[in-house]
Structures are given as C-alpha cells and as structure tokens.
A and B are shown apart, each in its own frame.
Chain A
C-alpha cells in the first residue's frame, strides 16, 4: 500500500478544491489534492461559454480559461496532485483511503481535510416523470459533456425541462450546433436560472420559454419520440385538459443541483437541509478538522463565488493547523442560525461565540421571489436584532451579508438567530 503524508488533503480539483489548495500552500503547509477525473479543473472544463471571472479577475473568461489560471498556480507552486483517484474511505482519525489503477490502494495521513467534491444534477427519478424509459433523456450537464468534451450530438430536436443555468446555456449551445430546441419548460412561474442567461441564451435565439408547465409524460419505448407538457396551478398541481404534445427526440433535464456528500456522510459529518454539510463560520463540518467549500457545501450562482468561499476555507484551515490542531481546546459555544420565513437555508449553520467580533459572511437563498422586502435576524425571544431592506429577492440569486455580529448588537447570551425575509410594511416607502 502506498502512503502519503501531508498537512492538508483537498478532495476534488474543481474550482473550489484548486483555490483552497493554493491558499493553503501559500502558508507553506504541505497540501495534497486528490481528483477522481483524469485532469484538474472539474466541471468548469466543460463550461466552454464565457461569463466566468468577472469578480475574481475582473475580466470575462470561459470555464476552461478560468480553471487554467488556477491549474497554472497549482503547477507553479508545485502542489502535488493525484488524478484518476477515488477516495473510498475517511476514518475518524483522518486517514484517507483512495484507489487508482496505477498505485493501487493509497493511504493518506493528514491534519485537516477540505471537502470540495462539488455537486451533481437531479435526475428524472428524483422528479418522477411518468411514461416510458427510453434512450434520449439526459441531464443538461451530461449533454454538455457529450457536446463540448466528447464531440457528439445527443439528438436533433430538444425539449429542455427546467430553466436552470446549464439548461439555458445548453439551449443556446445546441442551437449553435444546428439542433432545434423546441421549448424550455419551467414548472415555476419564473425562470430558475440567472436573468442574464434568460436574455442571452433564450431570448436572443427566439427559444420559447414556457413557464408554469411541466413534462407530464415521456413518449417512445426505445428512443424519445416526444413529451407531453401540462400546465400547473399555483400549488404546482397539474391542470387536467391543458396537455400539449411536443415532438422531440431528446429531453434535457435542468431541474436542480444537489451537493454531492456521500463521502461527507461516510466520514460521519452531519448534513443540513440544503444537502450540504452543517458548518460553523470557519466552514468546519461537525467533524473537527474537516472543512467544506464550494458546491459540496452549497450550490453557488457563479464560479467566482465558489473561489472566494474556497479561499476562506483555505485560510480557516491554516488557522486550524497553526492554532488549534493537537491542542485540546474544549468545544466552544455556538449560536445556531435557523432559516425562517421565505428562507431555504443559511450558511454557516453555526457561529462560534468567540468569533462574534470578526466579520462573518452569511449566505442564504429565499424559497420564492418577492419585491420590497426586509431581511431580518431575530433571536430566540423574537427580538429583531438586525434588519435591512432589499428591493427584490429571487431563489436563483444567493444573498450574501458580511456582518460583524458584535457590531450589530448580538450578545453572548444569545443561543439562536432566525433569519427571515418578509414583505416591507407599507409605511416604509423609501428605496434602498
């Protein structure tokens, strides 16, 4: 069995893993990256469209270009990485077992682990579409891989279910390849991806967007021959009589992403309701010394946000190794953050009371769109501690607040804080 030793192991070499590894390496710690694919870069490699890097580099890059900037740094800094390698077990004492076809079983001993495994796409089963089970049903990301990496077309005529970003980007991509995208069908009354993709990928190419509809049946025993779409009510119940048949040979699904946390669970860490691990403000999971960042923690809107979260995780890991590792520090008290009205989830889930004097970044998403709202923090006695106005909120845009809890008046006695997004009372008619 081959053994490796390092201070930090990063699992996953996508946008999150690369940025976190680079950050840790800058503090002169020994870091090792394990990646299951055959090259560094992760999913960004198949995202050949532009729009990446506006925040991080203040220029517009494609996915592979964005990834390459980090890959170059990894190589310049001589960070070791093992490719084509699958982590199969993480033990309680932070021994990691992985395998690949060159070295066989690999054992890695480290002081800290950064989980950066990313996310995966929801499938047909997860949303239970009735009908046949033919070839010709792909997730948008799978189709993206076929077209952009492997160089094959998965079909001639498409219906795309779900208006997630990858779905809309693929609608444009397939049009460029000479395919016909008959419709993008969205169950919600609004688009679930970014507005810029709605404009640049659908409207600019006259691709019909059909909202408040869903695919209710798949036709074709061997290969998709078409889909039936049905209108849904406000409560997402299908309205009988509104069925329409659309002929197509391929159905793409862009119905959401789920953080990929099989390993996290196997390591014994707790997950929270968004499917990502429960973390404190250091992005540390419920297992000491195991940190998480990027889409494995929460699905982000933009890769730039993944990078900045990964850098934070990297800094926190450095702090952990330099100041906490191997020193028996008793578990400190935490303030619990709970999603309240119109909040889907909040990250971090906990804040360490000793950190309330430093700035903490909170990320959360709303459940449904709203206009002219108040975002507020309430303590366990329902006392409003903090509030701010916002013109609009939509689920596709993650809300980020950078707050110093002490400055906003959080006291050490508080045990939990509920975050809510509520409509503004009519009296407050001033703009933000």
Chain B
C-alpha cells in the first residue's frame, strides 16, 4: 500500500493538514511519535487566536495569521470545538507606548484586520475589563482575537479527518526515511510506511526529520514558556490582555481559557533540550510578577496547575512552509506563534503545494465537514438529563466532581475516532482531572474505565506514555519479592 500523503506529526498543524486534505479522494496517513496526538507544543500554549497586527509585515506569518483568524469562524461551526471571539487588549502603561499601538493599528487596518481601535478613555477601558490595572493609559482593542482550546480543536480536527478516511498511527516515531524512485519509505518501530508525498509537521523535531531526506537548511531552537492556571471561580476576565510587545515575544499575558479559567504566562526562555518542559521557580515568579503589572489582583492562592510548553523557534523567525528540493517532500516547520491562528491558512497553502506536485485532488464524495458537537452533561436541561440517564445510565454516574463529568463523556472520549488511550488523553478530551482537585478523586475511576474499555489490566493504565505508569504492582507482591530474594 502506498499512501498519497504521509503527514509526520500529530500536533495542530499535522491534524489540520490531515483534515483539510481529507476533502480529497487521496490516501492519507498521519504518524505521531507520542502515545497521543496534541502532545507537544499544541498541548501547552496560550490558546489565543490572534488578530494579526503583531508580526512584522515582511513575514509570511503575518499574512497567514490574518487569513487564518478569519477561517476560524467556519471551522468552529463545522468542528464544534470551544472558541470564543472575545477580543484582545494590548495594554499601554506609559504614554510613550501609545505611539507603537497607533502604528500597529494603522498597519493592521491597512492589512484588513477588522475592528482594530485605539481606546484612550480609561473609564471605557475599565468598563470593558474591570480587572485591568489602574495604571493603564490606553489599549489597542482587537475584537477579532479569540480564545480556543488548542488541544480540543486538534482532537476535533483528527476526529473529523479520521471520519473522512485519514489513518492515524500513534506511538509511531519515524526513525529513517528512504527516498527512491519517487517513493518515500518511512521506517518506524512498528512497520514501514510508503508514500508518494511526505509532509513534515514534526514540530520541534522537524529539522531532524528534514535531515533524514538530506535537507539541512534550517535550525529549530526550543523556547520555553511557563504558565500558571487558576481555579475557574477565582476570577473572570472579559478580554485577552497583552502588555505592549517587546522584540522577543508578545510578553506575559493574562487571559481566560475557553473553559472560563484564567491563566498567566508565558515567559520566553531559550533552552537547548527539546524535551525540557519543566517549570522553574524563577520562571513561575517571573510570570506572576509580569502578569501583576496588568492585573494587580491576581488570585495567587487559587492556582491549580503550572505547566510549560516549548515553541519551535526557527533561525529565520518566520514559518518555513516549503515545497522542497526533494520532490514530494514538504516542510511545515518553525511554526511559532501565531501558528495556532494560522493553521487553516497553512493547510490551504500545503494543499496548493500538493496540487503543484501533481497530486490528483479529486474531491472525496463522502467528505463530511461536520464533526458532531460533543454532548455535554452541563449543557442539558433537567428534563433532557433525566431522559438521557434513562436511555443510558452512564450519563448518571458522575466521575469528575470538580468539572461534573459523567462516565458517558469519558466513554465517548475513549470510543471517538482517534480516541483516548491514556489518563491524560481522557483528561484533555473531556476534562476529568482539570478542576481544582486535579484528579484527586476521579483518577482511579478514570483508570478503571480505561482498563475496562481498552481491555487491559488496571495497573497497565498510564498517564501519557508507556513509561508513565501509575501503579507498580498489587500490594504484597513487593513484600513477597523482597522476602523471596532475601533483601
């Protein structure tokens, strides 16, 4: 079997390309090295859909961002993922910064960003976002900016792609690529995949993949961003709040999530280890201090989690979207911010490249762009709930008390196309363990359900990867082992 296209990498970019290409009658496979898709940069970023005024005008990431932003409306309707256009503020704390905001506004309007306005009326600003500091002197308001759950969107993209025929292979790390007679052979531990075309969307490891076909023309540097997440009850923000940007990054923001929590972060730390997602004491302090400049009354004691994600920073500081010299090999690398915003535009560009490569893009007659809206307990009226439970008792068994998640939603997450196979997989798909107790009560129940549904022993249920086991043995096994070995 030779695939028309193999996509390497199951982050938001890989999955978005997979879903976009599933419109066409071609054979597609996606290979992901981790136990689940959305495990890298996609899992730990700000979840902001940017308006597009921020990037320099000579970069393609600016065009992609402005275009991608507009494409979100339709995507959210079709794929039913959490997305709200709540608008963003770039906050000026000194008069000197107003000029920069003015320039961003003027350029933004010229480039077709809708609704950009500079607001200098403090009363109006505070009315729009009461949590903002009294030191504010003006804001650049971008009403088209929004918040999205990046991993839930990625799961939705993958589900829809799978519904439309894309084959997903998780735990499939690409180790070698052979290119012969216009056919790529991708070697993984679990078998060889053949393809006419390869799309390299391997995130931080895209430079490594690119080198496998002899293309060594860019470097990716991991840049760490740390975050702190707060309890949903602790604070309610109306707007995404950015400080006035520096050259290095958009700065530390204070922002609501698509589920109503507040988070602060990220900082920007250049590191060398592409797997170092540790949070640091200094970093957590830095983001709290930075965030307090925008929102002085942060609910510090209501933090429920800290985490860090890595962005892939290319040495060009711009997206690398290339139809390369190796015929049929497309690099989609260095997708730093605003990559999440740009993903739909990037996928469109990749489609154009495939057309240029002569791939026969006949439309897929069975293509259905709709990924059904997940049924959520919290959206049901009392009568609906009563009927649902009568039809299926799994709706009546609450597993996660903090987020009110019934067994049924967990079953749906496990049995969805490209469904959850790990505790984190369940958590990121339907939220048990995301709340203030962080899985204290529900984790053993989620493990039980996973073991039952996947037909594996309880103690083999893991957090994310094979090595992230929760339990070592039955009680007494350890004692017996020690007695027998005479320890």
| Interface presence of A84 (CB below 8 A) | yes
Q: Are A155 and B472 in contact (CB under 8 A)?
A: yes
| Interface presence of A222 (CB below 8 A) | yes
Residues of B within 8 A of A249 (CB): 472
Quote the shortest CB–CB distance from A344 to chain B (angstroms). Answer: 14
Residues of B within 8 A of A (CB): 228-229, 233, 275, 277-281, 283-284, 301, 303-307, 382-383, 385-387, 389-390, 393-398, 401-402, 404, 407, 436-438, 440-441, 443-444, 458-459, 462-479, 481-482
Taking A104-B396, A126-B301 as given, write out 11 further A-B residue pairs in contact, using a Cβ cutoff of 8 Å, ordered by the A residue number: A101-B396, A102-B393, A105-B386, A125-B229, A125-B305, A130-B280, A133-B277, A152-B471, A152-B472, A153-B473, A177-B476
Q: Are A125 and B304 in contact (CB under 8 A)?
A: yes
Quote the shortest CB–CB distance from A418 to chain B (angstroms). Answer: 24
Report the separation of the CA atoms of residues A196 and B326 in the bound assembly, to the nearest whole angstrom. 72
CB under 8 Å from chain B, chain A span 103-126: 103-105, 120-121, 123-126
Residues of A within 8 A of B (CB): 1, 36, 84, 86, 88, 97, 99-105, 120-121, 123-126, 128, 130-136, 139, 141-142, 145-147, 150-156, 177-179, 216-218, 221-223, 238, 249, 262, 265
Q: Are A178 and B280 in contact (CB under 8 A)?
A: no
Q: Are B396 and A36 in contact (CB under 8 A)?
A: no
Residues of A within 8 A of B444 (CB): 142, 145-146, 150
The 3 closest A-B pairs by CB, nearest first: A101-B396, A101-B393, A222-B467
Of the candidates A99, A104, A135, A178, which one forms a contact with B482 in the assembled complex, judged by CB atoms under 8 Å apart?
A178
Report the separation of the CA atoms of residues A88 and B386 in the bound assembly, to the nearest whole angstrom. 13
Residues of B within 8 A of A150 (CB): 444, 458
Q: Are B438 and A135 in contact (CB under 8 A)?
A: no
Q: Are A177 and B478 in contact (CB under 8 A)?
A: yes
Quote the shortest CB–CB distance from B432 to chain A (angstroms). Answer: 14
Q: Are B437 and A1 in contact (CB under 8 A)?
A: no
Beta-carbon nearest neighbor of B393 in chain A: A101
Residues of B within 8 A of A178 (CB): 478-479, 481-482
Q: Are B389 and A153 in contact (CB under 8 A)?
A: no
Decide yes or no: A99 and B402 within 8 Å by CB, A130-B281, A177-B478, A179-B478 being known contacts.
no
Q: Are B472 and A154 in contact (CB under 8 A)?
A: yes
From DSSP, what is the main secondary structure of chain A's interface residues? mixed
Residues of A within 8 A of B389 (CB): 99, 101, 104-105
Of the candidates B284, B398, B407, B472, which one forms a contact with A130 in the assembled complex, judged by CB atoms under 8 Å apart?
B284
Residues of A within 8 A of B301 (CB): 126
Residues of B within 8 A of A154 (CB): 470-472
Report the separation of the CA atoms of residues A105 and B307 in the bound assembly, to the nearest whole angstrom. 38
Decide yes or no: A153 and B477 within 8 Å by CB, A86-B401, A88-B404, A222-B467 being known contacts.
yes
Q: Are A222 and B382 in contact (CB under 8 A)?
A: no
Beta-carbon nearest neighbor of A97 in chain B: B382
Residues of B within 8 A of A156 (CB): 472, 478
Q: Are A222 and B277 in contact (CB under 8 A)?
A: no
Q: Are A135 and B468 in contact (CB under 8 A)?
A: yes
Quote the shortest CB–CB distance from B468 to chain A (angstroms). Answer: 4
Residues of A within 8 A of B382 (CB): 1, 97, 105
- A to B CB contacts below 8 Å, 5 in the list: A99-B396, A153-B478, A155-B472, A221-B277, A223-B468
Decide yes or no: A120 and B281 within 8 Å by CB, A100-B397, A151-B475 being known contacts.
no
Report the separation of the CA atoms of residues A136 and B476 in the bound assembly, to the nearest whole angstrom. 19
Residues of A within 8 A of B396 (CB): 99-104
Q: Which of B283, B407, B473 has the most CB of A within 10 A?
A: B473
Q: Are A128 and B306 in contact (CB under 8 A)?
A: yes
Q: Which of A84, A178, A262 has the most CB of B within 10 A?
A: A178
Quote the shortest CB–CB distance from B459 to chain A (angstroms). Answer: 6
Q: Are A123 and B283 in contact (CB under 8 A)?
A: no
Q: Are A36 and B398 in contact (CB under 8 A)?
A: yes
Beta-carbon nearest neighbor of A156 in chain B: B472
Residues of B within 8 A of A142 (CB): 440, 443-444
Residues of B within 8 A of A84 (CB): 397
Residues of B within 8 A of A123 (CB): 304, 436-438, 440
Q: Are B401 and A132 in contact (CB under 8 A)?
A: no
Quote the shortest CB–CB distance from A145 to chain B (angstroms). Answer: 6
Of the candidates B229, B233, B398, B462, which one forms a contact with A135 in the assembled complex, judged by CB atoms under 8 Å apart?
B462
Q: Are A121 and B283 in contact (CB under 8 A)?
A: no
Q: Are B303 and A126 in contact (CB under 8 A)?
A: yes
Beta-carbon nearest neighbor of A131 in chain B: B278
Decide yes or no: A132 and B475 within 8 Å by CB, A101-B393, A125-B229, A126-B304 being known contacts.
no
Beta-carbon nearest neighbor of B226 in chain A: A130
Q: Are B281 and A152 in contact (CB under 8 A)?
A: no
Report the separation of the CA atoms of residues A128 and B279 in the bound assembly, to the nearest whole angstrom. 9
Quote the shortest CB–CB distance from A275 to chain B (angstroms). Answer: 11
Report the separation of the CA atoms of residues A135 and B439 in the bound assembly, to the nearest whole angstrom. 12
Report the separation of the CA atoms of residues A101 and B392 in the bound assembly, to the nearest whole angstrom. 8
Quote the shortest CB–CB distance from B82 to chain A (angstroms). Answer: 21
Report the separation of the CA atoms of residues A128 and B281 in the bound assembly, to the nearest whole angstrom. 9
Decide yes or no: A135 and B440 within 8 Å by CB, A104-B389, A125-B229 being known contacts.
no
Of the candidates B394, B436, B463, which one forms a contact with A134 in the assembled complex, judged by CB atoms under 8 Å apart?
B463
